Amino acid sequence: MALAPLALLAALRPSFRVAPVTAVIVLLTTSGAQFGPVRYAIDRVLEIGLGCLVAVVVALVILPARAHHLVAEAAADAVLTLRDLMNLILADATQGPDRATLAATHLKLGSVLSRVEGFVDEVKRERANRLSETADAEPLARNLRRLRHDLTAIGRAMMEPLPEPARHCLAESLAALRLAVSDYLAGCAATLRESRVLPSLEPVDRALLSFRDSMDRFRESEALQGLDIDGVERVFGLAFAVQQLRGNLGDLADRVAERGPGRSANPS
């Protein structure tokens, strides 16, 4: 008679899923008959309170698994997945990336970013309960989402091979930029995971300067006049997305420094 309505309630409202178990504990134990309802209630409260106290001590002293460590691990995985995505998109300017592999990488990235956001919520709870004094993790998660948007914009521009004149002018500088950003993202992941020194952005800036020079030469060439509207939009959309990527990489350096050693190997 007690379990039937509670089981129905638990099926309708998942928040009451412990109710049937509670009923079993109350009905099947002999303590209530021996000590009476008042003493039995006090005994249960003391038992639960002791269990909570032991759990808190274990969590704080014996197994202090802090959420900021978990968010750093998940963020490192996200940075490496962003690196894989960028390498896939910019691997070859003469042909677009493999669509199946691209879709799988985006799916993996979405899963990893969801993990990061879940740990961010745990960091917020720890900070609210004064269990941790680490930096707020929300800016890091927001920066990772922005980097994903940048790479998505670059991927739209590179989904098909660039027009021949643009490919001739930009392929070499894009390859150098891909290598520089790839190394930088790998270094950021190592800083998050192993507290290594934050890598410098100077190689990325040099590669970006070379890309800008290539874009300037392309703008000044007659080849630009021969492109259709779609080609012009893709080339200049690529240039804009690359510029946005550099800004968000700088923001990533600040966010990683908050959780790592906080120093660059060669600060600019």
pLDDT tens-digit series, residues 150-170: 999 999 989 888 888 888 888
Task: Indicate whether 88 and 175 sit together in one domain.
Answer: yes
Task: Indicate whether 145 and 34 sit together in one domain.
Answer: no
Number of domains comprising the chain: 2
Sign, CA dihedral 174-178-180-185, equals: positive
Residue 120: CB atoms within 10 Å: 22
Task: Indicate whether 109 and 33 sit together in one domain.
Answer: no
- CA-to-CA distance for 186 and 84, rounded, in angstroms? 10
Task: Indicate whether 100 and 184 sit together in one domain.
Answer: yes
What letters, b where the CB count within 10 A reaches 16 and e where it falls short, cover 243-264? Answer: ebbbebbebbbebbbebbeeeb
The answer to whether residue 9 sits within a structural domain is yes
Distance of CA 4 to the CA centre of its chain: 44
The answer to whether residue 73 sits within a structural domain is yes
Task: Indicate whether 114 and 224 sit together in one domain.
Answer: yes
Query: pLDDT band at 129, cuts 50/70/90?
Result: low
Last residue of a domain, one of 45, 61, 77: 61
Last residue of a domain, one of 24, 46, 61: 61
Could you please report the per-residue DSSP string of 154-195? HHHHHSSPPPHHHHHHHHHHHHHHHHHHHHHHHHHHHHHHH-
Query: Is this model's pTM higher than 0.75 or not?
Result: no
pLDDT tens-digit series, residues 176-224: 999 999 999 999 999 998 877 889 999 999 999 999 999 988 888 877 7
Q: Which residue has the higher pLDDT, 225 or 172?
A: 172
Write out the residue range of the structural domain in which residue 172 sits.
65-259
Q: State both tokens at 229.
A: 């509207």
What CATH number is associated with residue 144?
1.20.58
Q: Which residue has the higher pLDDT, 182 or 22?
A: 182
pLDDT tens-digit series, residues 28-65: 766 656 777 778 778 888 988 999 899 888 766 765 55
Task: Indicate whether 45 and 124 sit together in one domain.
Answer: no
The answer to whether residue 265 sits within a structural domain is no
- CA-to-CA distance for 59 and 32, rounded, in angstroms? 32
Task: Indicate whether 47 and 105 sit together in one domain.
Answer: no
The answer to whether residue 266 sits within a structural domain is no
